[in-house]
Amino acid sequence: MIIQERKRAICIGMMLVCATFVGMSTNASAAGSPPVAEADGPYEAPECYSVILDASHSYDPDNEALTYRWFINGSWIDNYGNPLMDYLWLDDFSGEATLEVSDGTFTATDTASVTIYNTPPQILSTDGSIEVNLGDPVNIAVNFFDGLYDPQRGMVIPSLDTFTATFYWGDFSSDVLSLGAEEFWANASHIYSEPGIYHIAVTVVDDNGGMASTDWYVKVGEDLPEFEAGPDHTINEGDAFLSYGYFMGIDGESYTATVDYGDGSGVQPLNLSSGYTFDLSHQYFENGVYTVIVSIYWFGEFYGSDSALVTVLNVAPTAMLVNDGPKDEGSPVTISFTSQYDPGIYDTFTYSFDLNNDGIYEIADQTDASTVYTWYDDGIYMVGGKIQDDDGGFNAYATSVVVENVPPTIISLSTSPTSPVKIGTSINLSGLFTDPGIFDSFVAIIEWGDGQTSTIDLPAGEYNVSGNHVYANTGSFMINLTIIDDDGGFDTMSLGSSVVIQKNCGSGCGHSTTPPGSCHNSNGNNGNAYGKDKVKSGCWYAGLNCHAQLKGWFIFNNYWAKGKSIGCKNH
């Protein structure tokens, strides 16, 4: 902000003389006390108006003569021995002024708040064309002022404001001028494309929002009709119909006007300007052709009417097409239209969906804004959608649906036979699994526990897996099955109990021990199953050796022994 400083010393002779006299008679014992500063305030005034900064309430306890200076807008201003200073702000301001007083030895300061209000511009004169031929320019000149304007007292002080002048030509066109400080003339010209009587409005706005305005009327063209409701218009539904017109009334007579916009909203009062022009403004919410009728009344009696046509075009609706993905393959996905908008507020909509993005809408013209579809394989799928109003206007959109892979799930795994078998006997494994990705293919990997594996390819839709294996060595073996789909998802399951392979021999051929959990003793505890010979079988658990009397094994693969336990003894 630029501040121009102007001050006026107000001399008060007796005050200075008295201050000097008092200082001469001061008691020496009070010497050395600092002065007291009083800045008074708060101060308020319009810009360009004089402000008296009053420091007269400041004093010195020693009755020493004081000098004064003020700190305003970043600089000190000396006012010497005068406690009153006349200062002028040429622009609006809000802040503080700081007073400093000095007795020649000591200083003191005080602050006061200052608020300077903006002064709006004022129009001094408007001049321009009154009547021109069609095609000739219309020239308008506006003289204004901003600041303190009192020429009768010789007080014309301009502010430092800048300005924006806008010329509204009455045919819904305008021109904008930018003016600097102390540029107080706004000049513009305009050429009209239609004959008529036009109401011109000019506004001048300063950089703080203060505004002034003025009006002007001009007749364009010769042999004008006495009554003109304005030209025909074509607009979009939802847009405002803006037009203008005039009639040639008799100066000083009393006229009133009404308008019917032809859309069922009824007859409405219409404001007439002093130059017998009028502005038309109405919003149409449905496409169609409408007749606007303006009627003029003279002292309540019908004077005349004129009409204009307004063609309102349909506007297609807009929306957003969204989905609730990502979703797992095999899970339903909801695709929806949201945020529907149509400036034709009476329009209704239908919705269509192209689920495979082939340009054909599998679901067409339904009233529901959403649909549900399930993809059975992972991937990113483009879905097209169309929203259409009841006048045929439409917009098409697309949304990307993310479908994620779901790994297969093994639900059962078993072997046959389940009892211990002789070496060389074939072990058969069967597994069953599921996968919601019905188009997935699979690889099944069987780990037999002896270092050997079997790999089986399964086509889409095949969920059973089987394999067989002959063990070359005795022992107990844990079998694992892994199913991998074509997207890398997998599941693994281990057989609940070990497969036991024994030698082809008689009594005393040794024993095989299975991992914990392969059998149960009579108390329900899990333990390790083993067979010592054809006569005895048992389950070792926590220091107990429980024997069955029958030939065979106590328990394998979660089957109870066929024989009966006759008790246990400590080892």
* Residue 453: domain span: 409-500
pLDDT of 168 > 50? The answer is: yes
- Integer Cα distance of 494 and 61 in angstroms: 103
Interval 262-295: pLDDT, tens? 999 999 999 998 889 999 999 999 999 999 999 9
- Integer Cα distance of 303 and 283 in angstroms: 27
pLDDT of 530 > 80? The answer is: no
Assess whether 492 and 532 both reside in one domain. no
pLDDT band at 499 (very low <50, low <70, confident <90, very high): confident
pLDDT of 568 > 70? The answer is: no
Residue 63 is assigned to a structural domain of this protein:
yes
So what's the pLDDT on residue 250? Answer: 84
Q: Which of 71, 231, 51 is nearest to 148 (CA)?
A: 51
Assess whether 481 and 457 both reside in one domain. yes
Residue 3 is assigned to a structural domain of this protein:
no
pLDDT band at 161 (very low <50, low <70, confident <90, very high): very high
So what's the pLDDT on residue 496? Answer: 72
Of the residues 278, 313, 348, the one at which a domain ends = 313
- Integer Cα distance of 481 and 491 in angstroms: 8
Q: Mean pLDDT over residues 362-385, rounded? A: 97
Residue 43 near residue 51 (C-beta atoms within 8 A): yes
Assess whether 415 and 399 both reside in one domain. no
pLDDT band at 23 (very low <50, low <70, confident <90, very high): very low
Place of tokens 């011109």: 200
Residue 505 is assigned to a structural domain of this protein:
no
- Integer Cα distance of 464 and 335 in angstroms: 35
Assess whether 517 and 430 both reside in one domain. no
So what's the pLDDT on residue 423? Answer: 86
Assess whether 464 and 560 both reside in one domain. no
pLDDT exceeding 70 applies to what percent of the chain? 82
Interval 110-159: pLDDT, tens? 999 999 999 999 999 999 999 999 999 999 999 999 999 988 888 899 99
Pairing mode of beta strands 43-46, 75-80: unpaired
- Integer Cα distance of 175 and 173 in angstroms: 7
Residue 145 is assigned to a structural domain of this protein:
yes
- Integer Cα distance of 162 and 149 in angstroms: 17
So what's the pLDDT on residue 381? Answer: 97
Assess whether 103 and 126 both reside in one domain. no
Assess whether 423 and 482 both reside in one domain. yes
Count of residues making up the chain: 571
Give the up-direction half-sphere exposure of residue 71: CA atoms within 13 A in the CB hemisphere: 12
pLDDT band at 427 (very low <50, low <70, confident <90, very high): very high
Assess whether 400 and 413 both reside in one domain. no
Q: Across-strand partners of 290? A: 310
pLDDT band at 563 (very low <50, low <70, confident <90, very high): very low
SS3 label, residue 343: coil
So what's the pLDDT on residue 56? Answer: 97
- Sequence-separated (6 or more) residues with CB below 8 Å from residue 192: 134, 138, 169, 171, 198, 220
Of the residues 452, 472, 500, the one at which a domain ends = 500
Q: How many domains does the chain have?
A: 6
pLDDT of 109 > 70? The answer is: yes
Residue 85 belongs to domain with CATH number: 2.60.40.10
pLDDT exceeding 90 applies to what percent of the chain? 72
Interval 288-303: pLDDT, tens? 999 999 999 998 899 9
pLDDT of 508 > 80? The answer is: no
pLDDT of 95 > 60? The answer is: yes
Residue 1 is assigned to a structural domain of this protein:
no
Assess whether 391 and 414 both reside in one domain. no
User: pTM of the full predicted structure?
Assistant: 0.59
Angle at 206 between CA 202 and CA 212, to 5 degrees: 40
- Integer Cα distance of 455 and 478 in angstroms: 17
